[in-house]
Structure 1
Amino acid sequence: MATATSMFYWGYAIVLSKFVIFFIDTGIAKSFGVLIPTMVKRLDTNYATVGLICSMPSTLMYLLSPLVKLFLTETNTRVVAISGGLLCGTCIAACAFFTNVVAIGVSLTLSGLGLSMSFIPIHLALNDFFPEKYVLMNTICLYGYTAGSMLLPILMEKSLEAYGYYGAFLILGGVAYNSMACATTLRKVPTRSTSNEAQDHITSNDRKCVSRAKPLPEETPLFRQIQVEDEEEEHEEGVPEQSGLIQSKKCRIKEREIPLELQSTCIRTFFQACKGSCGLFREPFFASTIPIQFLQAYTSYSWMLFLVPHTEQLGIPSSKAVYLSTIGGIGGIIGRTVFVVFLGKGVNAFAVYIPVGCVCTATFLLDFVSSDYRSRVVLAFLQGFSFFIEDTMLSTLCKEAVFDDMNTATALTTVAFWTGMGATAAGIFTGYLFDITQSFTKVFIILGITHAFKVGHLFIVAIILFKRKR
């Protein structure tokens, strides 16, 4: 009991570690918002290319999650996570010495691989430690997103002024090295032995095979034959059975003797088990929410990468523009705290997401209204308030839209994959839109239209879930 209790409290160390990983991830993305104009000039390239390579760390942290999850089944998770932190920090620091777009792109790609190797073990460990309170604990971890978006852009701005381009990248690499410390907190949650679980699974399947069959009339020869076999089995109870093989054999013998209309139930059970091994094939409703997962990442990462360049294009100095990230972070802290309070009061999460999403959509569609600094402060605050509530939406979908808890881990890595795809699109497609339009105002209005589609889809999902609960 003492061991189980201590392991439960150790789960809060996992919460802190995931907080730091999120701090690093978002901090890197927002820091590139400060560095992108300098990188475009230094590398003599366009915004689409720089936006793509700068999105690589966050993109691949999520995009490679299914691959990393498979790799973890054969390897020590702590070793993988520590190695990933070392790779991430080294590659980001190495960017300070490269002057070629391809070299920096490869380096940032490898840093994304390293960040994924650190993130996924901690991401899955949180669900293992808090299976019933995952949404709440993950929401607390997401404060790391807010803190990173507030602090690291200012740190990069001051580092760029004090130490130049080289120093800024070296400091950013040093921040990424902290993921190694997070990896050392990984522990395994004590569970029942595999053999017991396998035996329970076999027993439950045998029970289903028998209980779902229609009862046979007692006067039939088939009933008398099965009754005789049951009596013979009672004499064999004292004989130890190995790994349930005898039980499985008996079940197969009975299936051959039971009429076809009774065998169909067991056949359906078999195919359902095969589908269950494929994870989300049994979760079509969750699969229908993939566009929400993609668009959530696309709009939020586009905002993080291009908020500061957009403000600078409006004629606001970089020294003032960088503080919009901090203001957005403050709005995020307030928004996330309000959301946690609502969760504690038992308010349905979707009842919060829909109105907040409408507010966020309006802030993008009204981007053309004014270009003065006060207006940008208000818009940045509301966008931060909204986005840092909406980013909890993905963990909520993993719990609410997945109806079999056995598929939760697969759902978590699926969400991470599509988040990576959205972050990739945010870097390259949003940068490409700016290269075509030469106006971040038009780009942000397009983001508002995209965000509106996501909110509409989410509204449909919320209605379906509400009807199912009723």
Structure 2
Amino acid sequence: MEGERDIDASVAQHDSICSTDSARETHAVSDKCDNSSLQYVAPDGGWGWVVCAACFMSHVLTDGIQYSFGVVFVELLDYFKGSKGETAIIGSISAGICYLSGPIIAIFTNKFGCRIITAVGTVIFSGSLVLSIFAPNILFLYFSLGAMFGIGYGMIYLPSIVCVSQYFESKRALATGIGVSGAGIGTFIFSPLTSILIKAYAWQGALLIQAGLALNCFACAIVFRPVTTASVKDTSDSETDNADEHLKVNRINEHSPYKYDYEKYRVDEVSIPTDHTICSESVNEESLNDSVPTVPSRYVSAPLLNDTIHPDHEESVKKKTFGDILRNILTHFDVEIFRNVAYCMFLVSTFLYSLGYYIPYIYLPDTAKEAGIGDIKASFLVSSVGITNTFGRILFGFLSDRKCVNRLVLYATALVICGAATCVGPFLTSFPLLLVYTILFGTFSGVTISLTSVLLTDIVGIDKLAHGLGGSNFFGGIGSFAGPPIAGWLYDVSGNYLMSYIAAGIAIFLSGAMLYFVPCIENKIKSKKSRV
């Protein structure tokens, strides 16, 4: 396989430069290795743009279907005669499960690769839509269109972003912004399309067609091949007896306007695992010789999990039950990132933001319908959120790559504006005014998907991105679970959407405002440590 050939070539190249005398029973670098430096460099282009395009298409399909739920929501209200809060739980479960499962999906992504996880997620995602057609009641939809849908959605969502992040460094924000902007395009397309399909084939027929379209994510999964390139460069000017001194690498995001002390979280050494790579295929242990060098874990291109493989790994796995294996996998989650204050504050911000984010997507069509706006125009409001969200994701991705822009301040300011607009939203009762609100909400909410992975890379480092993103998705999932039902129950109690939108707006506003204090808190912590 290509991933195996790349690793074999890299190891062979290193062995040709470095000669050692010892038997090297463990995976270590000999003290006699001279004039070499093993360095992982993100491609920053090439096949990475194909991966970016595949990420874009996967978001067009999955996010387009997810965010068009508001159109289906109105039909489910009429079909099952449930309350708004009861029916909204379906959408909250799907979004919540997607994000709550983030840490587990991150672990399996590191174990089995982006390609395999995305392919399995496609089967689950499409199957959940087909199964929902036969739903006898809302409770059944909680499982099929809620939990099952969310698991498949998450297994496509997280690996696609991780894979793009691994292929880019200096252009990471722009590439991520382009990749995830497919969500906006998907929302723009699927909201009116779903409305048209419902009129022609009822909501069951619309879900069946969506399931068929979702199977195209298989093509995206195939594209997510692993990054396995490690380059060895001559450093004859800097000779040293300590082999570790030769293994120097470029610092990631050196020019980031919002930096953290990565050395606090660095693991000194780790052996390169020999049974898998970042994004997909398994690598046969026999394909690598025994002289695989030890390199700093931050810069290993595979895997993200940084675990060392025991020599009798294969046999020990055979003796274990599935439960033992699962528990062993869970122990690999890097809990050290929760000691990072900035990361913890980011998690709280993500939770607050998620409380309010899905309210417009789910309730906007029904809000417009109550204001006397027709079904097609109401679905177009959701589409306008999608298309402006696409613009926002690309715009903020581009801006965040500028050296003069502070990414954290940009992110926080966009959320503050987004929250303020949502508070005003329920007072706008005409189509043109609601259209203005959707443009503001769509544009400034685009900052989250575009910059989340980039900010997390700044905060926890690229080698811990999968874990950082998984933890962020988990807290976002809690907010996504709670937000829509709370908004629906507020409507059932008050008889209108005023309190629902105001509560959502306040949550989003606070999620941005609290991030302004992160640098101050970080500086205080650093000053206390310096005194000690």
Q: TM-score range by the shorter chain?
A: 0.7 to 0.9
CA deviations over 1:255-278 (Å, ceiling 9, x no partner): xxxxxxxxxxxxxxxxxxx99953
Deviations 1:185-210 (A, max 9, x none): 121111559xxxxx977999xxx9xx
- What corresponds to 2:96 in structure 1? 59
Report the counterpart of residue 381 of structure 1 in structure 2.
439
Pair 1:424 & 2:481 matched: yes
Indicate the structure with greater helix content.
1
Distance 1:129 1:170 in 2: 35
Q: CA RMSD in A?
A: 3.5
Instruction: Describe the superposition over 1:386-436 as per-residue Cα deviations: whole angstroms up to 9, x where unpaired.
Output: 11124334224302332x443333112112222222222233222222222
Q: Deviations over 1:138-195 (max 9, x none)?
A: 11112112112211101101111112122111122123222222111121111559xx
Q: Is 1:155 aligned to residue 220 of structure 2?
A: no
Q: Any idea what SS the aligned residue of 1:322 has?
A: helix
Query: Aligned partners of 2:493, 2:388: CA distance in 1, in Å?
Result: 31
SS of the equivalent of 2:165 reads helix
Q: Contact 2:413–2:513 (CA<8 Å) still a contact in 1?
A: no
User: Residues 144 and 469 from structure 1, CA distance in 2 versus in 1: closer, same or farther, beyond 3 angstroms?
Assistant: farther
Matches within 5 A, 1:26-65: 26-65=63-102
Deviation at 1:74, TM superposition (A): 4.3
Cα displacement (A) at 1:33: 0.3
Tell me, in whole angstroms, the C-alpha distance in 2 between the residues paired with 1:421 and 1:20: 27
> Which one of 416, 430, 435 corresponds to residue 358 of structure 1?
416
Q: Larger deviation: 339-348 or 41-50?
A: 339-348
> In the alignment, does 2:386 pair up with 1:329?
yes
**Residue 450 of structure 2: aligned partner:** 392
SS in 1 for 2:223: coil
**Conserved? CA contact 1:118–1:180, under 8 Å:** no
Task: Report the counterpart of residue 447 of structure 1 in structure 2.
Answer: 504
State the Cα distance separating 1:37 from its structure 2 match.
1.6
Partner of 1:87: 124
TM-score (norm: length of structure 1): 0.76
Distance 1:400 1:306, change over 3 A: same
Q: Where does residue 302 of structure 1 map in the other structure? A: 359
- Matched-pair contact (CA < 8 Å) for 1:66–1:417: yes
Q: What amino acid sits opposite 2:171 in the alignment?
A: K
The answer as to 2:205 corresponding to 1:167 is yes
Query: What are the within-5 Å matches in structure 2 for residues 73-152 of structure 1?
Result: 73-75=110-112, 77-108=114-145, 109-152=147-190
Match of 2:215 in 1: 177
- Rate the CA distance shift 1:423–1:21 in 2: closer, same or farther, 3 A: farther
Return the alpha-carbon distance in structure 2 between the equivalents of residues 105 and 83 of structure 1: 21
Write the distance in 1 (CA, Å) between the matches of 2:52 and 2:69. 26
Aligned equivalent of 2:400:
343
Cα distance, 1:92 vs structure 2: 0.7
- Are the counterparts in 1 of residues 100 and 475 from structure 2 also a CA contact under 8 Å? yes
Q: Is the 8 A contact 2:396 2:451 kept in 1?
A: no
Q: Secondary structure at the match of 2:46?
A: helix
Is the CA contact (8 Å cut-off) linking 1:328 and 1:385 kept in structure 2? yes
Q: For the Cα contact (< 8 Å) 1:286–1:397, is it kept in 2? A: no
SS at 1:67's partner residue?
helix
2:364·2:382 contact (CA, 8 Å) conserved in 1? Answer: yes
Check whether the contact 2:60–2:185 (CA below 8 A) recurs between aligned residues: yes
Structure 1 residue 462 displacement after superposition: 5.2
Aligned residue for 1:367, secondary structure, equals helix
The amino acid of 2:406's aligned partner reads N
Would you say the 8 A contact 1:65–1:417 is kept in 2? yes
Unaligned runs of 5+ in 2: 7-40, 232-241, 248-262, 264-289, 295-330, 528-532
Distance in 1, matches of 2:443 and 2:409, equals 16
User: Could you tell me how far 1:355 is from its partner in structure 2?
Assistant: 3.7
Give the distance between the partners of 1:87 and 1:412, measured in 2 at CA.
21
The Cα of 1:306 is off from its aligned counterpart by 1.5
1:327 partner letter: S
Q: Distance in 1 between matches of 2:158 and 2:348?
A: 22
Does structure 1 conserve the Cα–Cα contact (< 8 Å) formed by 2:43 and 2:168?
no
C-alpha distance in 2 between matches for 1:376 and 1:65: 33
- Distance in 2 between residues matched to 1:278 and 1:18, nearest whole Å: 28
Q: Percent identity?
A: 23
1:439 is paired with a residue of what secondary structure? coil
The CA distance in 2 between the partners of 1:128 and 1:202, in whole Å, is: 25
* CA distance in 1 between partners of 2:438 and 2:293 (Å): 61
Question: 1:350–1:462: 8 Å Cα contact kept in structure 2?
Answer: no
Give the Cα–Cα distance (whole angstroms) in 1 for the partners of residues 437 and 458 of structure 2: 31
Contact kept? 2:104, 2:470, Cα under 8 Å: no
Give the C-alpha shift of residue 368 in structure 1.
4.4
Match in the other structure for 1:371: 429
**Which deviations, in whole Å up to 9, do the C-alpha atoms of 1:4-39 show, x marking residues without a partner?**
999952222221222223223321232110011210
Note the C-alpha offset of 1:468. 9.8
- Greater C-alpha radius of gyration: 1
Unmatched 5+ stretches in structure 1: 194-198, 209-239, 245-273
**SS of residue paired to 1:97:** coil
CA separation in 1, counterparts of 2:115 and 2:381? 37
Which residue does the alignment assign to 1:224?
A: none
What is the rounded CA distance, in whole Å, between the counterparts of 2:493 and 2:119 in structure 1?
42
